[in-house]
């Protein structure tokens, strides 16, 4: 992904620093490579970010070679963005933050408030799953399937490749139909919730990682509690579709981990999902595909 797949031991140098609001730069990509934060000893965390095999199933060996270097490890399909409501989304990014290093970025979470384009005023909380020397200062390269592979292309060895330009990716929602089923929801998100915004500007601050993000990556920083908690705004019906017309509805499941209940428009199931599987009253768990279900 966004850094060389070698072990680094600079963890001890990473000291908790409260991040104040700053302005950032956004781009987009999806290169299918093993996340750079999936390697061990990158930061003081409970565990590295999950990586997956070519079939999008989580693997347990953190030393598995990246698919971009001929190995079996790739990005997981659930490391893609999803909408909570019309004004709030979760997602993931490769990051480079001024004044820090890989040891302070890996698995950190940030609240982005977009300030330009069709998404101005919307918010998104992302977790850093990769870093890299090709990124500028305060640069967030959002993980969006169909955003272009960029410098590295692990998608071709994984499943034959993705349509679109190397930088920038595809140009229309219809092209998402040519993606693997597991990546379609994240591709639709770009044209629905994100309104196909082209590298919008934003302000950002570091926040505690929401459980919804940690459930997908498995990674939480040891200093996560030093940062303010953030909650999505009150749930409102979303007009931004995150599924294709072939979506089906399944009954709300009777039990969830710890008895938790997912709010409307939140994820409620999918392969590898370990979060809430029951939906709040008035909504049901709608299956988009084997990797993603949402309370609707």
Q: Check pLDDT > 80 for residue 243.
A: no
The span from the CA of 275 to the CA of 203, in Å, is 29
Q: Which pLDDT tens digit goes with each residue over 190-233?
A: 999 999 999 999 999 999 999 999 999 999 999 999 999 998 77
Alpha carbon of 252 to those of 249, 256, 276, 279, 287: distances in Å?
9, 10, 11, 6, 11
Q: Which pLDDT tens digit goes with each residue over 244-291?
A: 433 333 333 334 555 678 766 567 887 667 678 888 888 889 886 666
Q: How many CA atoms lie within 13 A of 295 on its CB side?
A: 24
Q: What are phi and psi of 68, to 5 degrees?
A: -75, -10
Q: How many CB atoms lie within 10 A of CB 161?
A: 13
The span from the CA of 134 to the CA of 25, in Å, is 13
Q: Check pLDDT > 50 for residue 18.
A: no
**For residue 99, what pLDDT is reported?**
92
The span from the CA of 220 to the CA of 87, in Å, is 25
Q: Give the chain's mean pLDDT.
A: 85
Q: Please list, in sequence order, all residues whose beta carbon lies within 8 angstroms of the beta carbon of residue 2, skipping any fewer than 6 positions away.
A: 36, 94, 130, 131, 132, 133, 134, 135, 141
Q: What are phi and psi of 295, to 5 degrees?
A: -75, 120
34 vs 12, higher pLDDT: 34
Q: Check pLDDT > 70 for residue 14.
A: no
**For residue 241, what pLDDT is reported?**
44
Catalytic residue annotation: 31
Q: Which pLDDT tens digit goes with each residue over 105-119?
A: 999 999 999 999 999
7-26: average pLDDT: 57
Q: Check pLDDT > 70 for residue 76.
A: yes
**For residue 132, what pLDDT is reported?**
76
**For residue 295, what pLDDT is reported?**
79
Q: Which pLDDT tens digit goes with each residue over 88-104?
A: 999 999 999 999 999 99
Dig out the tokens for 268 from the structure.
């409620």
Dig out the tokens for 280 from the structure.
């709040």
**For residue 96, what pLDDT is reported?**
95
Residue holding tokens 């609240």? 111
Q: What angle do CA 210, 180, 57 make, to 5 degrees?
A: 55
Q: Check pLDDT > 90 for residue 30.
A: yes
**For residue 272, what pLDDT is reported?**
64
30-39: average pLDDT: 97
Q: Check pLDDT > 80 for residue 5.
A: no
Following DSSP, what letter does each residue of 156-214 receive, concatenated? HHHHS--SSBTTTB-SSGGGGGGS-GGGHHHHHHHHTTSTT--S--EEEEEEPPPHHHH
**For residue 254, what pLDDT is reported?**
38
Q: Check pLDDT > 60 for residue 64.
A: yes
Q: Are 132 and 1 in contact (CB under 8 A)?
A: yes
Q: Check pLDDT > 80 for residue 6.
A: no
């Amino acid at each position: 992904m966004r850094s060389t797949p070698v072990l680094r031991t600079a963890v001890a140098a990473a000291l908790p620093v409260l991040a104040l609001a700053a302005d950032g730069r956004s781009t987009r990509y999806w290169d299918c490579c093993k996340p750079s934060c999936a390697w061990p000893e990158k930061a003081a965390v409970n565990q590295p970010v999950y990586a997956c095999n070519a079939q999008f199933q989580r693997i347990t060996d953190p030393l598995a070679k990246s698919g971009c270097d001929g190995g079996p490890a790739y990005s997981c399909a659930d490391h893609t963005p999803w909408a909570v409501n019309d004004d709030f989304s979760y997602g993931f990014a490769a990051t480079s933050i001024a004044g820090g290093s890989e040891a302070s970025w890996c698995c950190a979470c940030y609240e982005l408030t977009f300030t330009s384009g069709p998404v101005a005023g919307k918010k998104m909380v992302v977790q850093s799953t990769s870093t890299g020397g090709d990124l500028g200062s305060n640069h967030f390269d959002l993980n969006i399937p169909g955003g272009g592979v960029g410098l590295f292309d692990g998608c071709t060895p994984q499943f034959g490749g993705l349509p679109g330009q190397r930088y920038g990716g595809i140009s229309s929602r219809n092209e998402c139909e040519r993606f693997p089923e597991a990546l379609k929801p994240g591709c639709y998100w770009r044209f629905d919730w994100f309104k196909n915004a082209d590298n919008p500007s934003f302000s950002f601050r570091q926040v505690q990682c929401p459980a919804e993000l940690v459930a997908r990556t498995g990674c939480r920083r040891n200093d996560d509690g030093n940062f303010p908690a953030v909650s999505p705004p009150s749930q409102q019906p979303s007009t931004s579709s995150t599924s294709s017309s072939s979506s089906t509805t399944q009954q709300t499941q009777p039990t969830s981990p710890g008895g938790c209940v997912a709010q409307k428009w939140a994820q409620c199931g999918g392969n590898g999902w370990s979060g809430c599987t029951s939906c709040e009253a008035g909504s049901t768990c709608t299956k988009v595909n084997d990797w993603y279900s949402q309370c609707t």
